[in-house]
Amino acid sequence: MDLPTIWFVLIAVLWIGYLVLEGFDFGVGILLPALGRNEPERRAMLHTIGPVWDGNEVWLLVAGGATFAAFPEWYATLFSGFYIALFLILLALIFRGVAIEYRNKRPELAWRTRWDWLIAAGSFVPALLWGVAFANIVQGVPIDADKEFTGTFFTLLNPYAIVGGLTTLTLCLTHGAIFLALKTDGDIRARANRWAGRIGLVAAVLAVAFLGWTLMLRGNPAAVATSLLAAVALVGALVANRLGREGWAFLGTALTIGLAVTTLFVTLYPNVMPSSTDPAFSLTIENASSTDYTLTIMTVVAIVFVPLVLLYQGWTYWVFRRRVSAPTSTVEP
Amino acid sequence: MDPLLLARWQFAITTVYHFLFVPLTISLAFTVAGFQTAWYRTGKEQYLRLTKFFGTLFLINFAVGVVTGIVQEFQFGMNWSDYSRFVGDIFGAPLAIEGLLAFFLESTFLGLWIFGWGRLPKGVHLATIWIAAIGTVLSAYFILAANSWMQYPVGYTVNEAAGRAELTDIVAVLTSPMALVTFVHTIPAAFMTGGAFVTGIASWRLLRHPDTDRPAFRTAAKVGAWMVVVSGLLVAITGDIQARVMTDAQPMKMASAEALWETSQPASFSIFTIGSLDGSEEIFSIRIPYLLSFMATGDPNGKVEGINDIQARYEEKFGPGDWTPNIPVAYWSFRLMIGAGILAAAAAAWFLWLMRRDRLPTRFMVATAILLPFLPLAANSIGWIFTEMGRQPWIVWGLMTTPNGVSPSNPWYAVALTLVTFTLVYGGLALVELSLLLRQIRLGLPTVGPESAPTGEGEPALALGY
């Protein structure tokens, strides 16, 4: 594998890391006002993601920074082209981040409820729009000979992309509900388990439709294999959820998201942003990448630090491995 | 409307706003780590209470710093896509490394610190805040190295065929004199800001509630004031070195900072000028002889090149055009930055004198203390305005002009929409944050139980959590 291809894989890994990890905290965020029936329950729900959500979000920043460093043309075309969509995502992430940190800073219920809705909305928008964005990248968007995006925000809102957005949205919801069942106790745990089963069915239908459509657009044998595995993982997750095997269910949805993102990157290869105007204008791994010198440095940094990050983030999950319960029901030791 | 102008305003607003929180995050992380270390080593309850009090203020501030930082990471691509294409091979690497080395450390270990009270062994818990604090400094280093490359490009070649600058020497980029001196100038400036913040709040508490927690807040007020004085000194020393590096790398910026139109030897420094700065006439000015020569060259009789000569030189080199930045902005921002910094350090030194031994702060002093944090905050912002506007018309000095860096296909209304929205949202967040800070300050030091509170999961221990 040459360096640009290695970095194509690494960018995919960063996005998988981001969507698998932030995927469940998006799900918990969206479910917060609906699944949490009262203040102690909502607090317990937030507590499950409290120590980790910010670290999860850094995967996005690193994916963005790494794209800038390894594929400047991709970074430039994508973020200037998907301007309004990205703006909406950023706005949502701003509100969400502040809301998670500020809701507990005052005791009044009205104050907390207001932030809860911002947490939900701020989780909903990116969970939907990242899917829309990725579907558009895979499908191809109008890009001219100067690598400039020539469409508008509404170019992005096509049926395929909307199915893609709904797929990521429902996958995040299922992933989040299963995470809640895994990390809580008592009523919330049972409720999260039921909701995961129901939303999971919708997610399964959408995911099959979206991945099937993707294969029809740009299928290749490898993508068929990864999307089949994604489907198996999702079915496995739902069965495990039904049986109350929460750890296995969570592994299942994590694998589903990871394999779905893998499918998208596999169909994309060797392009990074295909042009729907003329295939000759497509951004590819070769014409969008940085020099070998820069990629070598980045590779060394990644080899040293990515495992380290995984190690200490993993340790965080281990430190906070205990279930959280709403304070009214039981007091945790 | 001109998308270029809108994009520039957007960058200015989002960056200056973000940088209100960054210096506080850096310095408060260390301050809180310091208080917690004092508690760890002495076991004195007052240090634990200070840790929690300033820890909460730190987290309120950190939240906005984080979310505004996300915009920073993406706005190069959104509004400055041609810049990103041109410099990505060089500029992207420090940004990505910053994320991988620093952001992960900060966010992960802060999560551990916030929720780890009582769950992690005391020593390990203390280590988490120190690691997060180190993360903030690492982050500052990489982003300053990236910015310094825009001021003083090194370690690159321009590949004409590919139409971009390409990295040839990462070590040169990460250890350029501009990067190093900017780093050692910015970090103490951050500590001035945090020190002023701590002193201001502690003095206010001492005056309004002289009977509650007097010893703890006296300690905090003094620690903060010492931070301002010592880092103020470091800021002055490193600023002096930076001026010389700048004179070498960007002579036009130095000449503009002084509105020095004609090459002079020796050159005097004007503290204050009434009249136009266009070189035509000067109505009144207070000047210190030899000072500019000394600042720019290290020699009181050194020659400082004037704007007119540099402009002529650049026309020969880069072709016809106006190669000067906005002179009044450069002139005034340079002195306002220095003035605000000196004033802050002087006020803090005066505080230390007034609070010597057991003396309580006076009413007048407290009024000053409340204003004190705003001086370094202003100096930081104005310093960045000087740094960035003084580089104009270049986006990368000598390589790419700002109009050539903007995203070519963004319609003006899209840029206007994001500019207006971000500005309004940021303004709203500032009000919410300020109200929360004030509320927390009014609540005073949190109470901690006899066994020094951080016990399991009870409500008090969660004061920092959710």
Whether residue A1 is contained in a domain is answered as no
Helix (H, G, I), strand (E, B) or coil at B282: coil
Please tell me which residue of chain A has the smallest CA distance to B125. A319
Q: Please state the rounded mean pLDDT for residues B324-338.
A: 90
- Looking at residue B263, its pLDDT comes to 83
Quote the domain boundaries for residue A225: 14-319
DSSP assignment string, A230-241: HHHHHHHHHHHH
Q: Phi, psi (5° rounding) for residue A21?
A: -80, -55
Distance separating alpha carbons of residues A185 and A328, to the nearest angstrom: 12
Domain limits, chain B: 3-248+349-460
The mean pLDDT value of chain A amounts to 92
Q: What CATH number corresponds to the domain at position A208?
A: 1.20.1630
**Which of A67, A102, A309 is opposite residue B104, by nearest beta carbon?**
A309
Confidence of residue B397 (pLDDT cuts 50, 70, 90): very high
Please tell me which residue of chain B has the smallest CA distance to A14. B100
For A266-296, b where at least 16 C-beta lie within 10 A, e where not — what string?
bbbbebbbbbbbeeebbbbbebbbbbebbbe
Number of Cβ within 10 Å of residue B32's Cβ equals 27
Confidence of residue B281 (pLDDT cuts 50, 70, 90): low
Please tell me which residue of chain A has the smallest CA distance to B429. A98
Helices (H), ranges, B98-213: 104-115, 122-151, 170-174, 177-208
Cis before residue B266, ω within 30 degrees of 0?
yes
**Which of B85, B98, B417 is opposite residue A65, by nearest beta carbon?**
B98
* Residues from chain A contacting residue B82 (CB–CB below 8 Å): 76
CB-CB under 8 Å, A105 with B429: no
Residue-wise pLDDT tens digits, B64-108 = 999 999 998 899 999 999 999 999 999 999 999 999 999 999 999
- Looking at residue B449, its pLDDT comes to 62
Residue-wise pLDDT tens digits, B17-54 = 999 999 999 999 999 999 999 999 998 989 999 999 99
Please tell me which residue of chain B has the smallest CA distance to A46. B466
CB-CB under 8 Å, A297 with B93: yes
Q: Which of A233, A28, A199 is nearest to A123 (CA)?
A: A28
Number of domains within chain A: 1
Confidence of residue B282 (pLDDT cuts 50, 70, 90): low
Distance separating alpha carbons of residues B268 and B279, to the nearest angstrom: 15
Please tell me which residue of chain B has the smallest CA distance to A144. B409
Please tell me which residue of chain B has the smallest CA distance to A69. B92
When scoring A25, A41, A45, A90 by the number of chain B Cβ atoms within 10 A, the one with the most, hence best to mutate, is: A90
Chain position carrying tokens 């001492």: B206
Residue-wise pLDDT tens digits, B189-242 = 999 999 999 999 998 888 888 778 888 888 998 899 999 999 999 999 999 899
* Residues from chain A contacting residue B456 (CB–CB below 8 Å): 332-333
Residue-wise pLDDT tens digits, B124-174 = 999 999 999 999 999 999 999 999 999 999 999 999 888 899 999 999 999
Please tell me which residue of chain A has the smallest CA distance to B96. A65
* Residues from chain B contacting residue A291 (CB–CB below 8 Å): 89, 166-167
**Which of A77, A83, A105 is opposite residue B60, by nearest beta carbon?**
A105
**In the numeric block, which tokens belong to residue A198?**
């129901």
Q: Quote the ipTM score.
A: 0.90
* Residues from chain B contacting residue A50 (CB–CB below 8 Å): 111, 114-115, 465-466
pLDDT above 90: residue A330: no
pLDDT above 90: residue A115: yes
Q: Please state the rounded mean pLDDT for residues A298-311.
A: 94
Find all residues with CB under 8 Å of B348, minimum gap 6, and list them: B195, B196, B199, B224, B225, B226, B228, B229, B232, B372
- Looking at residue B308, its pLDDT comes to 87
Share of chain B above pLDDT 90, in %: 62
- Looking at residue B466, its pLDDT comes to 56
* CB pairs A-B closer than 8 Å: 234
The mean pLDDT value of chain B amounts to 88
pLDDT above 60: residue B445: yes
CB-CB under 8 Å, A94 with B70: yes
* Residues from chain A contacting residue B96 (CB–CB below 8 Å): 62, 65-66, 68-70, 298, 301
Long-range contacts of A145-151 (CB under 8 A, 24+ apart): A145/A278, A145/A280, A145/A281, A146/B408, A147/A73, A147/A76, A147/A77, A147/A281, A147/A283, A147/B85, A148/A77, A148/A80, A148/A81, A148/B408, A148/B409, A149/A77, A149/A80, A149/A81, A149/A82, A149/B409, A150/A277, A150/B409, A151/A81
Under a CB-based contact definition with an 8 Å cutoff, are residues B247 and B254 in contact?
A: yes
CB-CB under 8 Å, A290 with B67: no
pLDDT above 50: residue A174: yes
CB-CB under 8 Å, A94 with B68: yes
When scoring B73, B87, B106, B406 by the number of chain A Cβ atoms within 10 A, the one with the most, hence best to mutate, is: B73
When scoring A98, A123, A143, A152 by the number of chain B Cβ atoms within 10 A, the one with the most, hence best to mutate, is: A98
> How open is the CA angle B120-B121-B124, to the nearest 5 degrees?
85
Strand B269-274 and strand B164-167: pairing?
A: unpaired
Confidence of residue B454 (pLDDT cuts 50, 70, 90): very low
CB-CB under 8 Å, A331 with B100: no
Cis before residue A333, ω within 30 degrees of 0?
no
CB-CB under 8 Å, B407 with A102: no
CB-CB under 8 Å, A97 with B78: no
Cis before residue B393, ω within 30 degrees of 0?
yes
